[in-house]
Structure 1
Amino acid sequence: MLTIIDKYILKRYLATFSAMLLMFVPIGIIIDVSEKINFMIENKVPFLDIAVYYYNFTIYFANNLFPIFLFLSIIWFTSKLANNTEIIAILSSGISFTRFLRPFIIGATIVSLFVLFLGFSIVPAANEGFNNFRYTYLRTGGKEIMRGDNTDVYRQVNDNEFLYVNSFNTESQVAFNFALERFEKDKLVSKITASRIKWNPKERDYTMYDYTKRTVGPLGDKIEKSPEKKAKFSFELEDLTPVVYIAETLRLDKLYSFIDKEKKRGSSNINVYMVVFYKKFSVPISAFILTIIAVSVSSMKRRGGMGMNLTIGISIAFAFVFFDKVFGVLAEKSTFSPFLAVWFPNIVFGILGIFLLRNAKR
């Protein structure tokens, strides 16, 4: 049964977190618009596409930075409670610090369940729309804005075939600069190239444009060309999608099946997929850890006031994000365990939270 104090704190918890999101998300949108407005004008991007992009951007931005927003919002309103001596009054009435923490934990539970729901259902679709817009429009003079793993895709389809595409548009289901090489006993047998390859969902096949096939023979190579050619291949549509891109756009059940298929195939990008998979569960748990740390840090009235609490809070929040990003990249680029990499920040800051909570109780 929630008391008046519980309802008061819980209301402040959720209201401040919501206000923090409403305050920072528009700032993120303004910065993004200032960076991309020239590309949008040059490429004559339709207004409706821009509106859909910024809807997806809002979800993408809020989901990635929600730990910082949550942490700072708790620091903010808990510091105000401490400066107004409200916490002293609550604890002086006989309520223990552990009991005082209960509405914060309830608030963290609500936020965690909401983030978990978003991560399983809404965020993958938003990530797909967000990335698709960038691939479709944000290029100029043939030079990609996005580089590295997010553009070129080079993938082993099976023991004998290797696939390459320069970029992929999920909305039109078209890949550009397509190449498929087939080897037998480490020797190139054939190579198919096309300027574009389009998936046909009804026929369950592909249409290649500017098609060329080179078949390597003992007495000479055979060249076959055609402006347009349909064919069926052993690879699937998601094989054309960039590594991080596809992992972020799949719902939990599809992501699990995709990872299982890639493991059987012996994909070298398994760690990238596993990092995305584990983060769907680790990020919501971080809400509890950051809540405990924030309350423990800001519940005491300090000489520096709210400014000192915010300084400490911002330092801890960015340290958490730094650990999260560094170990995520470490797992993706090395043999470091993805599970340990994703959960390491929660483990370290969980221990820190226990230590700070014990000191706060004293």
Structure 2
Amino acid sequence: MKIIDLYIIKKYLGTFGFMLGLLTIIVLVIDVQAKAPRIESNGFKVSEFLVNFYPYWIINLIITFMSILVFISVIFFTSKIANNTEIVAIISSGASFHRFARPYLMTSGFIALIALLINHFVLPLSNIKKNELEPYTYNAVSRAEFTGNSEVSTQLSKTEYIFIKSYNKKEKRGSGFIYQKFDKNKKLIYQLNANDFYWDKDKKYFSLNNYFEKTINKDDTEKLNNGNTLNKSFGHPPEELFPDVLLGQNKTTPELIKFINREKEKGNANLNSYLNELYQRTSMPVSVIILTILGLSLSSEKKRGGLGLNLALGIALAFVFVFSFEVLKVVSENKSLPPLLAMWFPNLIFGPIALYLYFKRANQ
């Protein structure tokens, strides 16, 4: 049966590779054509993005649609060999359906393992490069959220807060800076104001200009101080102090876990987007195995509708599966569902369905 195993593995990987290449080329061409005017209007050349943005964007694209590609690939080549009565011949030779399914499980497990490693360690490094330029592919309103000025507030600890009237994430400078520290009774004990500030990347501190300090003593007396320039460190760079939704994508899993734990200690309750990112890195690769079992179960029997019916059903189910992840992300970020449950919910629903159909097919 080793020949059969190699035959199925070759079919699986060959179809998956073809689908992967086809999707990459089609989506790349469409995306470049759609975004070229925005790229050029921001002072860049499309050729620059083809070298410095799209290779990293493609990695993200492949991981996002890997489950769909695996499912459609399994449906496609299994339907073909089923219609050619090859599966009937294999089963008739004495092999059980479980034995026939073994190379499917081996190959899907291999792909899932690769996806798992990429998700946790490679994709975040790729996202750093991708996210540097991605805002310049957005429209003006969306781009301003990442490159323009905005009001910012953050909690450094349970007793420390920073408020900024206008902050530019790209230039890492702003105006209207306020730092406040409270005691355990939530009484203000220190406040630092500055007209404007910037982040000194080399020296790793904030340089505050035209600052004013107020220290409130236990007897409610105040100590005032002011000056032209004050250099102050708050323990972390701006991207850590004022995180955006892209920060979680840029961190490897050990770094992301460390960041989430630190934010929890600070009392930050708005962590669902980062938790979604963390849990999805494992749940999506697992879905590769689930969808392989589901695809095998649906397409391994010769049907009157043939390949077309199986493909139509497979594509519909695959998009429902992946789309459900995006919907559940929004639900989780609105705190209507715990992130762990949200990111594993599609697997929890499709997993039992896949197993039921598999054993039903095996017992026929």
Letter in 2 for 1:192: A
Q: How many residues align?
A: 348
Partner of 2:254: 253
Alpha-carbon deviation of 1:186? 6.9
Matched, 1:175 2:172: yes
Partner of 2:340: 339
Change (3 A) 1:192 1:293: farther
Letter in 2 for 1:324: F
Retained in 1: the 8 A contact 2:199–2:238? no
Matches within 5 A, 1:1-362: 3-46=2-45, 47-135=47-135, 137-138=136-137, 143-145=141-143, 154-158=153-157, 159-164=159-164, 166=167, 168-169=169-170, 174-177=171-174, 179-182=177-180, 184=182, 185=186, 189-192=191-194, 194=196, 197-201=198-202, 203-207=203-207, 211=209, 213=211, 230-240=231-241, 242-334=243-335, 336-361=337-362, 362=364
Displaced runs of 4+ in structure 1, greater than 6 A? Answer: 222-226
Which has the higher mean CA deviation after the structures are superposed, 85-94 or 100-109?
A: 85-94
Partner Cα separation in structure 1 for residue 277 and residue 94 of structure 2 = 45
Change (3 A) 1:360 1:315: same
Change (3 A) 1:225 1:296: farther
DSSP 3-state at the match of 1:157: strand
Retained in 2: the 8 A contact 1:328–1:341? yes
DSSP 3-state at the match of 2:247: helix
Alpha-carbon deviation of 1:80? 0.8
Alpha-carbon deviation of 1:342? 1.1
Partner of 2:219: none
Cα deviation code 1:36-56 (max 9, x no counterpart): 211211222153454120011
Change (3 A) 1:49 1:326: closer
Letter in 2 for 1:246: L
Retained in 1: the 8 A contact 2:156–2:241? no
Q: TM-score, normalised by structure 2?
A: 0.85
Change (3 A) 1:317 1:151: farther
Retained in 1: the 8 A contact 2:178–2:191? no
Alpha-carbon deviation of 1:146? 6.8
Alpha-carbon deviation of 1:134? 2.1
Retained in 1: the 8 A contact 2:20–2:69? yes
DSSP 3-state at the match of 1:192: strand
DSSP 3-state at the match of 1:198: strand
DSSP 3-state at the match of 1:101: helix
DSSP 3-state at the match of 2:304: coil
Retained in 2: the 8 A contact 1:271–1:332? yes
Cα deviation code 1:98-127 (max 9, x no counterpart): 111000001101101110121122100111
Retained in 1: the 8 A contact 2:211–2:230? no
Partner Cα separation in structure 2 for residue 22 and residue 176 of structure 1 = 43
DSSP 3-state at the match of 2:246: helix
Partner Cα separation in structure 2 for residue 92 and residue 113 of structure 1 = 33
Alpha-carbon deviation of 1:334? 0.5
Retained in 1: the 8 A contact 2:248–2:274? yes
Change (3 A) 1:139 1:318: closer
Cα deviation code 1:309-351 (max 9, x no counterpart): 0111112111211222222222222052211111111111001
Retained in 1: the 8 A contact 2:9–2:107? yes
Retained in 2: the 8 A contact 1:243–1:272? no
Change (3 A) 1:18 1:266: same
| RMSD between aligned residues | 3.1
Partner Cα separation in structure 1 for residue 304 and residue 298 of structure 2 = 13
Change (3 A) 1:63 1:54: same
Cα deviation code 1:291-325 (max 9, x no counterpart): 00000011111111111001111121112112222
Cα deviation code 1:185-205 (max 9, x no counterpart): 5779444354x733424x222
Alpha-carbon deviation of 1:217? 10
Retained in 1: the 8 A contact 2:78–2:296? yes
Percent same amino acid at aligned positions? 31
DSSP 3-state at the match of 1:36: helix
Cα deviation code 1:7-30 (max 9, x no counterpart): 000011111111111001122212
Q: Please list every run of 5 or more consecutive structure 1 residues that lacks an aligned counterpart in the other structure.
A: none
Partner Cα separation in structure 1 for residue 69 and residue 4 of structure 2 = 23
Letter in 2 for 1:205: Y
Q: Please list every run of 5 or more consecutive structure 2 residues that lacks an aligned counterpart in the other structure.
A: 217-223
Q: TM-score, normalised by structure 1?
A: 0.85
